[in-house]
Amino acid sequence: MIGVAFVVLIVLMLLSIPIAATLMGLGLFLGETYSRFPLHRALGEVLWSASDSFLLIAIPLFILLGELLVRSGIARMTYQALEAWLSWLPGGLLHANIGTATFFSATSGSSVATAATVGTVAMPQARALGYDERLFAGSIAAGGTLGIMIPPSINLIVYGFMTETSIPRLFIAGIMPGTLLALMFIAGTAALCTLRPEWGGPRRTHSWAARARGLAALAPMFGLFALIIGSIYTGWATPTEAAAVGVLAALGIAQATRTLSISMLRGAILGTMRTTAMIMLIITSAYFLNFVLSAVGATQALSRLVTQSGFSPLATMLLIVGIYVILGFFIETLSLMVITVPVIEPVVVSLGYDPIWFGVMLILLIEMALITPPVGLNLYVVQGVRGRGAFSDVIMGSIPYVLIMLLMAGLLLVFPGIALFLPNAMN
């Protein structure tokens, strides 16, 4: 039945039916076909239980926080500050792209918003200074993926909600892998631009006075990250309450930078409403589909099949990684997560893997889906900001970063402590 469900899912998506309608329709179809009981009668109760959670309030709050930061000019200040510190490296401003994405990820929680913001600020520099636009665009698209790894992450909140896993532990588990991945992006970029200097554009040095001013410009981002994460881990606030505190702080920053206005607030609130509605519709539809799969025994059957297959846990995990890489070519990231997590996570846990570790590995794999065609959203966002040239340029520029992500996945498999060290230390 899992095979039938997957085939129907792919067919409906190829017909360009919205993913929420696809998930709901598939749940109704499987319930009527494979169950003796009228599962559709539980639709109202299931949807209510899926959305009746205080934790989910954090999603619109973190989205609003990102919207406010986009409109307050903080991203441009961060980019200029990191340019002063990083542009002496081989690759020049490519490192500022990755660094700005890393800092912005630590407050926005959204990869697409990160890529769009950094692209808007950085892309004119590529044209003015003669950078290779393929690698320049690829660095922005790849840097943007960090938005769902480095806390606060909307996708980690959704994963924690669906698997009943601690959100604070997931947040802190994402810090080391997200930071290491950003450093690997920077190291890989420097290596490429050392081998091919013409890809990296001019290397520029700045005075220590300019760098000191840059540190002052980074203070709002440092302060927001410390406020949000610190309030969670000191026990002063839950993730939802920390998101609300972050929104208040972002409003204060916007007021300080004199960008706060009625029109700015209106745009931020409308953007938040649109994104939240999309996410919640997908979550509730997937919740009903997962309820049906569990009710008809599909989840339990898959778990038994895997545990009795005779494969080692590592071989099974490698197979799961390969499946996610392939599915990431065709399915949007949030949809991919909510479709697969309720089925795959119990299997992974039954193999002896930590659900916190799997959450980080899952986020890394769906990060990769953001920069692999044909559905990679960050590729389209960066090309839209770029506004010229072939879409294939952005794809080609992202390939080195996809390879770095695969290397990172291998490191997580071999050294799970990369994700688990900080959560265990917090205990």
pLDDT tens per residue, range 368-382: 888 887 667 788 878
Q: Which of 40-54, 338-352, 407-421 shows the highest mean pLDDT?
A: 407-421
Is 19 in contact with 332 (CB distance < 8 Å)? yes
The 10 Å Cβ neighbour count of residue 287 is 21
pLDDT value of position 116? 76
More confident residue, 128 or 183: 183
Taking the C-alpha atoms of residue 324 and residue 368, their distance in angstroms, rounded to an integer, is: 9
CB-neighbour burial class of residue 164 (10 A; exposed 0-12, middle 13-18, buried 19+): exposed
Q: Average pLDDT of 168-192?
A: 92
Taking the C-alpha atoms of residue 219 and residue 226, their distance in angstroms, rounded to an integer, is: 10
Using CA atoms of 121, 122, 127, 132 in order, give the dihedral in degrees to the nearest 10: -160
52 phi, psi to nearest 5 deg:
-90, 70
pLDDT value of position 111? 72
pLDDT tens per residue, range 379-399: 887 887 777 777 788 888 899
pLDDT at 1 exceeding the cut of 60: no
403: pLDDT confidence band, cut at 50, 70 and 90? very high
**Sign (positive/negative) of CA torsion 340, 8, 319, 309?**
positive
Taking the C-alpha atoms of residue 338 and residue 321, their distance in angstroms, rounded to an integer, is: 16
pLDDT, averaged across the chain: 81
Lowest mean pLDDT among 86-95, 124-133, 261-270: 124-133
pLDDT tens per residue, range 248-306: 998 998 888 888 889 989 988 988 888 788 778 877 877 777 777 777 666 666 666 66
Overall pTM > 0.85: no
108 phi, psi to nearest 5 deg:
-90, -40
The 10 Å Cβ neighbour count of residue 325 is 17
The three-point CA angle 38-40-46 to 5° equals 125
pLDDT at 2 exceeding the cut of 60: no
More confident residue, 44 or 360: 360
Is 356 in contact with 169 (CB distance < 8 Å)? yes
Q: Average pLDDT of 72-81?
A: 79
Lowest mean pLDDT among 113-127, 177-191, 214-228: 113-127
Taking the C-alpha atoms of residue 176 and residue 304, their distance in angstroms, rounded to an integer, is: 34
pLDDT tens per residue, range 203-258: 677 777 777 777 777 888 888 888 888 888 888 888 888 889 989 998 998 888 88
Q: Where are the domains of the chain?
A: 39-426
pLDDT value of position 307? 65
176: pLDDT confidence band, cut at 50, 70 and 90? very high
pLDDT value of position 378? 80
pLDDT value of position 304? 67
pLDDT value of position 14? 63
pLDDT value of position 108? 65
Residues 6 or more apart whose Cβ sits within 8 Å of residue 411: 180, 418
